[in-house]
Amino acid sequence: MKALVLKAHEEIILEDVPMPALADDEVLLKVAACGICGSDLHGYMGHSARRSKNLPLIMGHEFTGVVVEYGKRVSTVAKQAFPIGASVAINPQYGCGVCKACRAGLSHVCPNMTLIGIERAGGMAEYVTAPAHRLFKLPAGLGTVAGSMAETLAVEVHLFKRVMTPYTRTVVVLGAGAQGLLAVQLAKAAGAQHIVACDIVPQRLAIAKKFGATSTVIGNEENVVKHVMTLTDDWGADLVVEAVGNARLRQQGGQMLAIGGMLALVGNFNGVTNFDFLPIITKEQRIFGTYCYTDDDFARALEMIASGQINVGDMLHTISLDQSVEYFHRLIEEPGGLMKVAIVP
Residues lying near Zn ion in the complex (CB under 5 A) are found at 37, 39, 95-96, 99, 102, 110, 112
Nearer to Zn ion, 97 or 202 (CB): 97
Distance (Å, rounded) from C-alpha 169 to C-alpha 79? 46
Nearer to Zn ion, 236 or 267 (CB): 267
**Shortest Cβ 94–Zn ion spacing (Å):** 9
The C-alpha torsion from 300 through 306 and 310 to 312, rounded to 10°, is: 120
Phi-psi map region of 179: left, alpha, beta (phi>0 left; psi -120 to 50 alpha): alpha
Asked if 135 and 28 touch (Cβ cutoff 8 Å), the reply is: no
The letter for the amino acid at 274 is N
Nearer to Zn ion, 180 or 261 (CB): 180
- Strand ranges for the chain from DSSP E: 2-8, 11-16, 26-35, 62-70, 87-90, 93-94, 114-115, 127-131, 135-137, 170-174, 194-199, 215-218, 237-242, 257-265, 286-289, 316-319, 340-343
**Shortest Cβ 264–Zn ion spacing (Å):** 17
Distance (Å, rounded) from C-alpha 304 to C-alpha 312? 10
**Shortest Cβ 241–Zn ion spacing (Å):** 16
**Shortest Cβ 69–Zn ion spacing (Å):** 27
Nearer to Zn ion, 108 or 204 (CB): 108
CA distances from 212 to 10, 105, 123, 175, 195 (A): 37, 34, 32, 15, 7
Asked if 145 and 98 touch (Cβ cutoff 8 Å), the reply is: no
**Shortest Cβ 285–Zn ion spacing (Å):** 28
Nearer to Zn ion, 182 or 190 (CB): 182
Nearer to Zn ion, 226 or 317 (CB): 317
**Shortest Cβ 58–Zn ion spacing (Å):** 15
